Amino acid sequence: MEMSWPAELEALREEADAFAADAVARFGRHDDAWINGYSRELSRELGARGWIGMTWPTEYGGGGRTPIERFIVTEALIDAGAPIAASWFADRQMGPSILVYGTEEQKRAYLPGILAGDTGWCIGMSEPDAGSDLAGLRTSAVRDGDEFVVNGQKIWTSFGTTADYCYLICRTSAPPDGKRHLGISELIVPMQTPGITVKPIVDMHGGRHFCEVYFDDVRVPVANLVGVEGESFKQTMRQLEHERGGIDRLLSNHARYRDALAKADTTDPIVRQEVAALETGYRIGRLLVLRETLKQAPAGFSAATKTFCTEHEQRVADFVARVYGPDALLWDGPDPASGSGSVGQAFCYAPAYTIMGGTANVLRNILAERLLGLPRAG
């Protein structure tokens, strides 16, 4: 299927492609540009162009544009490898959550900084014993007057060292029997608050974006509670939907794929078959993302979209490594300063695709139980 945009969208695509190419020339090409390519400078430029919060209501400073326009811009940036990570989490999920569940004061306080690309956010969900089983989280927030006192530990918190705010998921009351999803709340926690300690974790490709974050008697105003106290699990699930259905989950290593394709022996029938399968997978993944973008997918289907797209990314990583052969074992990248790293580093990052944002196993459970109505396992 050949898809083309109407003229006004084609003009936006050309503008976004040109901007992305220029950003790569100035800030380097990054693998996994939305999580491993961090530049506050570029985020501010995106903010100035109105390319953060593109679809948010204009009354809060958003662009009031269509989801397809946002798709076109983000596809161009991520596909090119432009480092958009400093604003991506807030653009993708923190801002939308605040818009839906936040108070008027919270919208006025936090959205302008996000829209300008001035503030960075991290997501404090996972804990050492609560990843897939998020309802098992133990970080507590206990009311003391007009403050919560937060204690506990988060882990795998991307951008823990650089973020201005943590969007924290925590337990504000003990769960009633058998209802572990109750008693959970969402708090906005400024990362400079006394009592927060951040320790970066070096991942196996050498990156340092994720961290352990410790909270020791951290005092957070009750005014920073987002949504309904003790009933935010549904809010968090909705936030995860934003995290799972986007084009970021398809294109993380697409620039690497183009490099490998240019190098591959496409006269080899085996290689040709593999390229055909990857090209097909890419097109199906893009259609799935477009369906999410246009809100044509059934509720919860982003679990399937993310699974399909991230497993495609892993097949791309395998293909790239095979094309480079022994060179894929070299660790030093062609241009380490740009952040693009080596083929070997890119290959080592690939397992993360089907873990972050919900593992493929768990997303298959969601698909089976919520969409297909199959009986619950276990």
Phi, then psi, of 151 in degrees rounded to 5:
-140, 140
Tokens of residue 283, six digits: 């097109």
In whole angstroms, the minimum distance from the beta carbon of 366 to ligand FAD comes to 10
Our separate counts of H helices and E strands in the chain read 14, 8
In whole angstroms, the minimum distance from the beta carbon of 120 to ligand FAD comes to 12
Burial label for 346, CB within 10 Å (0-12, 13-18, 19+), is: buried
Say how far apart CA 166 and CA 79 lie, in whole Å.
Answer: 27
Alpha-carbon 131 to chain mean position: 16
In whole angstroms, the minimum distance from the beta carbon of 333 to ligand FAD comes to 19
Tokens of residue 9, six digits: 């969208």
State which residue, 27 or 349, has the beta carbon closest to ligand FAD.
Answer: 349
CB atoms within 10 A of CB 360: 17
Q: Give strand ranges (E) for the chain.
A: 121-124, 140-144, 147-158, 165-171, 184-190, 196-200, 210-221, 225-226
State which residue, 131 or 300, has the beta carbon closest to ligand FAD.
Answer: 131
Residues 243, 274, 292, 313: which is the catalytic one?
Answer: 243
* Inter-residue contact 173 to 140 (CB < 8 Å): no
Q: Tell me the residue length of the chain.
A: 378
State which residue, 19 or 165, has the beta carbon closest to ligand FAD.
Answer: 165
State which residue, 128 or 298, has the beta carbon closest to ligand FAD.
Answer: 128
Tokens of residue 306, six digits: 């993310």
Q: Is 243 a catalytic residue?
A: yes
In whole angstroms, the minimum distance from the beta carbon of 325 to ligand FAD comes to 27
In whole angstroms, the minimum distance from the beta carbon of 206 to ligand FAD comes to 13
State which residue, 77 or 137, has the beta carbon closest to ligand FAD.
Answer: 137
State which residue, 123 or 328, has the beta carbon closest to ligand FAD.
Answer: 123
The CB-nearest residue to ligand FAD is 131
In whole angstroms, the minimum distance from the beta carbon of 48 to ligand FAD comes to 26
Say how far apart CA 241 and CA 71 lie, in whole Å.
Answer: 16
With CA atoms as reference, report the closest residue to 243 among 333, 125, 330, 145: 125
Residues that bind ligand FAD (CB under 6 A): 122-126, 131-132, 156-158, 210, 352, 355-356, 358-359, 361-362, 365
Residues with active-site annotation: 243
